[in-house]
Structure 1
């Protein structure tokens, strides 16, 4: 009977053995390929009332295996696991061994960097901490942040004692200010910190009000025009002026200044040619505030229109 069982489907059984041997030989004698991975650290079985943290979040592992396996594996599930349940409170030096590494079968670990990490097992505490909003992007041209208010101003933090003992503020995730000029309100979450497990509340309201970005700027060699000159006479302005003005930063451009303030001298009342000293006049402007004018009077040479044409 045993002989019959052994000989039953013998060709199929021999073929199975042959295929298994071929596969084994391909693994043993096949071409090997090396690979370098950055593997995340996972801390498991943390006791109630405690938190475990480490500054080493990714470990560099150098491994090798048959080329066929290396090419097929995605390595997405590879991790380095540490059971924290047996660690004492405080600082623990944890050596990374092969038993900590969840590597696919057939892949051989050759090197681990770093070879050990420091794991802090600490008690959890509750602490009230002030909220500091953070920002990205720039407001619309000519505007800047005027005021910022946060509600609530503080949040309760559940975290590792050693991580937040000397820390009094926590930051929000960035609030985007790009091209903003009108008041905005954002409901925003809190930044993730090593050792912080929980925020209460998890989000805060950030209110931002913008204002015009007013700055000062000096413009030199601004030309002056003569106006109200009687017919038959022409004027040549012998001086340029320097204007110091304040205004919205995006408008502080020379061509805008010339157009808006339009420096002139009033030549009405001049009857004959000659040289005159005339007071400089500027247009009233809601865009700019004139801080200084140099000189306050400019020299004007008046000639007959025919002479100037020649």
Structure 2
């Protein structure tokens, strides 16, 4: 048995070598989006392209493929020799900086359009943009931007018909008090620089006043002489204006408390009385219909019977 030991050891060693060769030699394919970087742009010019990411298919040994190795992969395209205007630039394998041992199989798209254009300075108006809704019952009342205009350094052909630039979104969520934001400007294709690169956006909020009509509002009878009881035979329709979040029937009933004054009535019968409403700082009364309601006054003992 000992005589076979060297042969067994050699067999095991060869098996390990074969396994390692299979593992390390196993080919894996991958697909990744690689950013485009335009380099060596001549002074006084700007180079832009609509294709910012290129889909690259590659392959290589499994042991060489990991996310970390591809984090810095990019495509560098030298534009120093391109003439002003549009150029259809073919992407070559050598333009793609891949880790050693990785082979590029396919590039999509295989060519991109690059615009080399003169760099110009143009003054543009700033338009603020917003996200989110103010606090319930409020809306934007006033917006000021300072400065109102900025200098834009950009490719001439990209901004020839553009006269405004937008800010990054200002968040208005749940706000109801004045705010001031120092905020940047939205990036646009072909724009290289803003001067200044930030603006101040000042926002003032105001109450969101709306009009509402509510029907079948009950009217409360006022105090009567002892022994008498009253029944209001009509409901009213109210048209009011107020803050939108307060225009609910329960709030209106509580705040305005529609009623009729019966203090001058001392005998039973049928009467027509004017509807009274409490003074309110929350609502403005636009219309009451009808202005007077029918009231029946009767002996309290009749109601008990």
Q: Does 1:39 align with 2:67?
A: no
- Residues in 2 aligned to 1:289 and 1:44: alpha-carbon distance in whole angstroms: 66
TM-score by length of 1: 0.87
**Contiguous gaps of at least 5 residues in structure 1:** 1-17
The match for 2:212 is 217
Q: 2:233 aligns with which of 218, 232, 238?
A: 238
Q: Answer whether contact 1:189 1:202 (CA < 8 A) is retained.
A: yes
CA RMSD of aligned residues (A): 2.2
Which of 160, 165, 169 is the equivalent residue of 1:170? 165
- Aligned match of 1:61: 56
Structure 1 residue 28: deviation in Å?
Answer: 9.1
Which structure 2 residues correspond to residues 94-113 of structure 1 after superposition, within 5 A? 94-113=89-108
Equivalent residue number for residue 194 of structure 2: 199
Q: Which residue in 2 is equivalent to 1:121? A: 116
**Which residue number in structure 2 is paired with residue 8 of structure 1?**
none
TM superposition shift of 1:306:
2.4
Residues 228 and 73 of structure 1: is their aligned pair in 2 closer, same or farther, counting only changes over 3 Å?
closer
Counterpart CA distance in 1 for 2:97 and 2:145 is 45
Write out the 4+ residue segments of structure 1 that deviate beyond 6 Å after TM superposition: none
Of residues 273, 295, 304 in structure 2, which corresponds to 1:300? 295
8 Å CA contact 1:273–1:304 kept in 2: the answer is yes
Deviation at 1:27, TM superposition (A): 7.3
Change (3 A) 1:48 1:146: same
How much does 1:124 deviate? 0.1
Could you tell which deviates more after superposition, 291-300 or 65-74?
A: 65-74
Q: Quick check: 1:267 aligned with 2:262? A: yes
In structure 1, the partner of 2:141 is: 146
Gaps of 5+ in 2: 1-12
Alpha-carbon separation, structure 1, partners of 2:212 and 2:54: 54
Is 1:26 the counterpart of 2:21? The answer is: yes
TM-score under structure 2 length normalisation: 0.89
Query: How far did residue 136 of structure 1 move?
Result: 1.9
Structure 1 counterpart SS, 2:267: coil
* CA–CA separation in structure 2 for the residues paired with 1:158 and 1:261: 60
Match of 2:85 among 72, 75, 90: 90
Q: Is the 8 Å Cα contact of residues 78 and 103 (structure 1) preserved in structure 2?
A: yes
Q: In the aligned structure 2, how far is the partner of 1:26 from the partner of 1:87? A: 47
Counterparts of 2:287 and 2:219, CA distance in 1 = 16
Tell me the SS of whatever aligns to 2:224.
coil
